[in-house]
Chain A
Amino acid sequence: MKKKFSIFAALIMALSMILAACSNSGGSGNSGASGEDDNSGNTVGGDKVKLEIFSWWTAGGEADALKALLKGFEEKYPNINAVNAAVAGGAGSNAKAVLATRMQGGDPPATFQVHGGAELFTWVDAGKMATLDKLYEKNGWNGVFPQKIIDMNSKNNHVWAVPLDIHRGNVIFYNKKVFEENGVQPPKTFEEFFAAAEKLKANGVTPLALGDKNIWPATMLFENTLLAKLGPEKYAELWTGEVPFDDPAVKESADIFKKMLGYINENHASLAWQDAAQLVIDGKAAMTVMGDWAEGYFVAKGWEPKKDFGWIETPGTQQSFMVINDSFGLPKGVENPDAVKKFLSYLGTKEAQVTFNKIKGSIPARTDVDKSKFNVYSKSTIEDFQAAKENSSLALSLAHGSAASPGFLTKVNNAVNVFVTQQNVDQFISKLKQASSLLGK
């Protein structure tokens, strides 16, 4: 009898194994679909050359902007089919993982979105990129992109990528109606910020919306306090190791960061940045600190700049401009490098930069475009960018991979995640200090 049972149990086990296998193949069905896209990007289907454009622009305004860009390109080059191969996930948290696997596996997309600065340089150092010096010469780009932005895309005296857009990372977006109802003015200093936050909190409104399910929005908040307390020059020296992380100003910014965390929404760990922006739209929260892709989100949701929402630089960073720059480069070993170069050339044109950035809520990397085509928010950002360029107070974003290597950023993100809950400043500083040994790499 007993034997019968064990046979029976074994049968059930076998059945369940098969079931488990089925559910696995069901899961991989999704990735299978994207796998097909991968293939179509690299093979030449019929007469049309296919290019796979890899990015993480899948949300609201970003996706529309990319679509418009690809449409504009295909009108100009009807023989080339630019395929949208975007992978969802804010700040590219998922896309970068997919990209790393593909690049390591020798299956690069035709071109991919990358943040100028350290993130791009990891690919350059790994010998995975082809230089674009000639393309810059041919298109005469050296004069039209600001030198600082070209520097972000250059290493070892070669330039490696074409900047498509510039985002600003040090902006507070606020709900105008909520501010008016509570008699609060946009805060310019930390004192004003905390006074306003206190007032809002007393009236039952969440002062600051944060969505750090993926941790980078919290890291952005921290880097903005760093920029405020250190100023653009010292801030830049953090990433070269000239200013250590146990500098008193760093500790001071950690203290302020900690104080700010006292005014965020309770469910921050369950939200993405869009959800946090939605809290502001719904009037449940008053402000959110985000890059100006949030502006694209607000507009996509039918909000009007200056009427429904206002914006101001994060406290103490009025003179600075936290640059987040999306660029596209040419990986080595792609099948149709000439077609990719055509696409990259197109990205550098005034037409492409206006089409794309107008929808996305970012500003063109070129400084010679007609800014009358942009909305009131972008116009003001373009002006601030010009001013910051002249004062050389452009700062590179850490949270978005421009300031330091992905390895360092991962460690900082881990430290920030712990800090948001434990709020132990000394421990946080010592973790940053420990991670800073990775800065050179």
Chain B
Amino acid sequence: MQSVDTNNAANTITKFNKKGSKPLSRDRWLAVLFLLPSLLLIAVFVYGFIGWTGYVSFSNWNSLIPDLSFAGLDNYFYIFQTFRFQSDIRNMIFFTVFFIAVVVFLGQFLAILLDQKIKGESIFRNIFLFPMALSFVVTGVVWRWVLNPKTGVNLILDNFGWTPEWYTNTAVVPSWDIFQIQFGLPLALISVIIAAAWQMTGFSLAMYLAGLRGIPDEHREAARIDGANERQVYFKVILPQLKPITFGVIVMMLHISLKIFDLIYTMTGPGANFVTDMPAVYMFNATFQGNFYAQGAAIAIVMLLLVAIFIVPYLIRSRKGEA
């Protein structure tokens, strides 16, 4: 995207020159010039297409032949009534909560350990960071075999008399009957959470480590002089200062977990009884395999709204912070 912007910038400048423009100071004129291409591209390729998706989601386009007649909220009503979408929402909630919790706590914990000025720190840091360099597709394929109940890690665990079913487990705990589904944590999701956390913990580790390094040593020394023990130094002095980092990590992880597709698609698929299905996977199935374009668009819009609920307040907050 960015390289496209710069390429097009030159073209647009020449166009812009011919047209002429309102009298502007040279600086502002240049600023507008440089921003214009990316603004246009974003307007079309991001907001334009979001608008188009929204439009399709209100249509009757549920076959290969486009039918853009108005269907009202039919597609939304339909998806919310399906067993599959209800499962998706449940899975998304539990996946998000546990995934973020694991990533935040594990990242923080590892960062504190690494911050002890140990030997070979950079080796450890790199080891933890490497999974992040992989694509979710690779992670998915690897963990699919590691956690396959008949091969992989179970061959070791078997020696201890414990062979969990991992992602083929269809149990939901606790299983309250809500609508058509059982509400609770699908145990199969634990495998997916492990894989996702394996990949993303390095990221939060890096964030926290940078945060810890940003805290001047004087703070610790001052606390120690005041008679605080090591535990108090961490819990009362260091960790409270890491709050903005935690907030950043949560927002980053949130938008990953709400939109997750590639990891699920390669690792487990929708899973038996849809225990590992996610809205994005359903959207793909509905749109490109079932040709239910309008229903797929409706799922996409629901996902967008869910992400927006969390991201928009963050954007507003950070804007206020700047001003």
Residues on A facing B (Cβ under 8 Å): 4-6, 8-10, 12-13, 16, 19-20, 23, 26-27, 30, 93, 96-97, 100-101, 104, 122-123, 125-128, 212-215, 265-270, 405-407, 409-411, 414, 417-418, 420-422, 441
B136-150 CB contacts (< 8 Å) to partner A: 136-137, 144, 148-150
Give the shortest distance, in Å, between A401 (CB) and chain B (any CB): 10
CA distance A406 to B286 in the complex (A): 10
Is B252 touching A16 in the complex (CB atoms < 8 A)?
Answer: yes
Is B211 touching A266 in the complex (CB atoms < 8 A)?
Answer: no
B210's partner among A12, A104, A414, A417 (CB-CB below 8 A) is A12
Determine whether B170 belongs to the interface, using a CB cutoff of 8 Å to chain A: yes
Determine whether B126 belongs to the interface, using a CB cutoff of 8 Å to chain A: no
Is B148 touching A270 in the complex (CB atoms < 8 A)?
Answer: yes
CA distance A4 to B64 in the complex (A): 55
Report if A27-B137 is in contact (Cβ < 8 Å); known contacts: A410-B289, A417-B272, A422-B273.
Answer: yes
Is A100 touching B273 in the complex (CB atoms < 8 A)?
Answer: no
A125's partner among B65, B84, B284 (CB-CB below 8 A) is B65
Is B149 touching A270 in the complex (CB atoms < 8 A)?
Answer: yes
Is B284 touching A97 in the complex (CB atoms < 8 A)?
Answer: yes
A12's partner among B135, B170, B248, B289 (CB-CB below 8 A) is B248
Report if A421-B170 is in contact (Cβ < 8 Å); known contacts: A8-B210, A26-B135.
Answer: yes
B265-279 CB contacts (< 8 Å) to partner A: 268-275
Residues of A within 8 A of B214 (CB): 4-5, 8
CA distance A6 to B242 in the complex (A): 10
Is A410 touching B268 in the complex (CB atoms < 8 A)?
Answer: no
Residues of B within 8 A of A30 (CB): 135, 137
Residues of B within 8 A of A93 (CB): 289
Is A406 touching B290 in the complex (CB atoms < 8 A)?
Answer: yes
Residues of B within 8 A of A9 (CB): 211, 244-245, 247-248
CA distance A9 to B170 in the complex (A): 41
Q: What 1/0 flags go to B207-218 for Cβ under 8 Å of A?
A: 100110010000
Give the shortest distance, in Å, between B301 (CB) and chain A (any CB): 19
Is A122 touching B291 in the complex (CB atoms < 8 A)?
Answer: yes
Determine whether B47 belongs to the interface, using a CB cutoff of 8 Å to chain A: no
CA distance A126 to B274 in the complex (A): 31
Is A269 touching B272 in the complex (CB atoms < 8 A)?
Answer: yes
Give the shortest distance, in Å, between A343 (CB) and chain B (any CB): 24
Residues of A within 8 A of B132 (CB): 19, 23
Which of B268, B275, B290 has the most chain A CB atoms inside 10 A of its CB? B290
Which of A26, A93, A270, A441 has the most chain B CB atoms inside 10 A of its CB? A270
CA distance A297 to B269 in the complex (A): 23
Determine whether B203 belongs to the interface, using a CB cutoff of 8 Å to chain A: yes
Determine whether B168 belongs to the interface, using a CB cutoff of 8 Å to chain A: yes
Is A411 touching B288 in the complex (CB atoms < 8 A)?
Answer: no
Give the shortest distance, in Å, between A3 (CB) and chain B (any CB): 9
CA distance A266 to B241 in the complex (A): 49
CA distance A8 to B241 in the complex (A): 12
B273's partner among A8, A126, A127, A421 (CB-CB below 8 A) is A421
Residues of A within 8 A of B170 (CB): 269, 421
Is A410 touching B292 in the complex (CB atoms < 8 A)?
Answer: yes
Is B272 touching A407 in the complex (CB atoms < 8 A)?
Answer: no
Is B289 touching A97 in the complex (CB atoms < 8 A)?
Answer: yes
Determine whether B74 belongs to the interface, using a CB cutoff of 8 Å to chain A: no
Report if A414-B168 is in contact (Cβ < 8 Å); known contacts: A16-B252, A407-B292, A422-B273.
Answer: no
A123's partner among B64, B84, B274, B275 (CB-CB below 8 A) is B64
Which 6 A-B residue pairings sit nearest by Cβ, starting from the closest? A410-B290, A97-B288, A421-B273, A269-B272, A126-B64, A9-B244
CA distance A265 to B168 in the complex (A): 11
Q: What 1/0 flags go to B191-221 for Cβ under 8 Å of A?
A: 0000000000001000100110010000000
Residues of A within 8 A of B20 (CB): none
Give the shortest distance, in Å, between B285 (CB) and chain A (any CB): 7
Is B288 touching A126 in the complex (CB atoms < 8 A)?
Answer: no
Residues of B within 8 A of A212 (CB): 272
CA distance A213 to B148 in the complex (A): 12
Is B167 touching A270 in the complex (CB atoms < 8 A)?
Answer: yes
Determine whether B323 belongs to the interface, using a CB cutoff of 8 Å to chain A: no
Residues of A within 8 A of B123 (CB): none
CA distance A414 to B205 in the complex (A): 39
Determine whether B309 belongs to the interface, using a CB cutoff of 8 Å to chain A: no
Give the shortest distance, in Å, between B148 (CB) and chain A (any CB): 5
- A10-B318, A16-B203 are known; give 12 further A-B pairs, CB within 8 A: A6-B321, A9-B244, A19-B132, A96-B289, A101-B288, A212-B272, A215-B270, A269-B271, A270-B166, A405-B63, A407-B63, A410-B289
Give the shortest distance, in Å, between B180 (CB) and chain A (any CB): 9
Residues of B within 8 A of A125 (CB): 64-65
A126's partner among B65, B150, B241 (CB-CB below 8 A) is B65
Report if A100-B168 is in contact (Cβ < 8 Å); known contacts: A9-B211, A27-B135.
Answer: no
Which of B167, B170, B273 has the most chain A CB atoms inside 10 A of its CB? B273
Determine whether B165 belongs to the interface, using a CB cutoff of 8 Å to chain A: yes
CA distance A270 to B165 in the complex (A): 10
Is A269 touching B168 in the complex (CB atoms < 8 A)?
Answer: yes
Give the shortest distance, in Å, between A18 (CB) and chain B (any CB): 10
A417's partner among B64, B207, B252, B274 (CB-CB below 8 A) is B274
Determine whether B31 belongs to the interface, using a CB cutoff of 8 Å to chain A: no
CA distance A152 to B110 in the complex (A): 62
Residues of B within 8 A of A101 (CB): 288
CA distance A213 to B188 in the complex (A): 14
Residues of B within 8 A of A214 (CB): 269
Is B241 touching A270 in the complex (CB atoms < 8 A)?
Answer: no
CA distance A4 to B268 in the complex (A): 44
Residue of A nearest to B241 (CB): A5
Report if A418-B211 is in contact (Cβ < 8 Å); known contacts: A13-B248, A23-B135, A267-B148.
Answer: no
Which of A16, A123, A214, A422 has the most chain B CB atoms inside 10 A of its CB? A16
Residues of B within 8 A of A8 (CB): 210-211, 214
Determine whether B5 belongs to the interface, using a CB cutoff of 8 Å to chain A: no
CA distance A269 to B168 in the complex (A): 6
Report if A266-B165 is in contact (Cβ < 8 Å); known contacts: A8-B214, A96-B289, A122-B63.
Answer: yes
Give the shortest distance, in Å, between B242 (CB) and chain A (any CB): 9
Give the shortest distance, in Å, between A21 (CB) and chain B (any CB): 8
CA distance A145 to B132 in the complex (A): 54
B133's partner among A6, A13, A23, A126 (CB-CB below 8 A) is A23
Give the shortest distance, in Å, between A119 (CB) and chain B (any CB): 11
Residue of B nearest to A104 (CB): B64
Can you list 7 contacts pairing A with B, beta carbon distance less than 8 Å?
A: A16-B207, A19-B132, A27-B137, A265-B150, A267-B165, A406-B289, A414-B84
CA distance A97 to B286 in the complex (A): 10
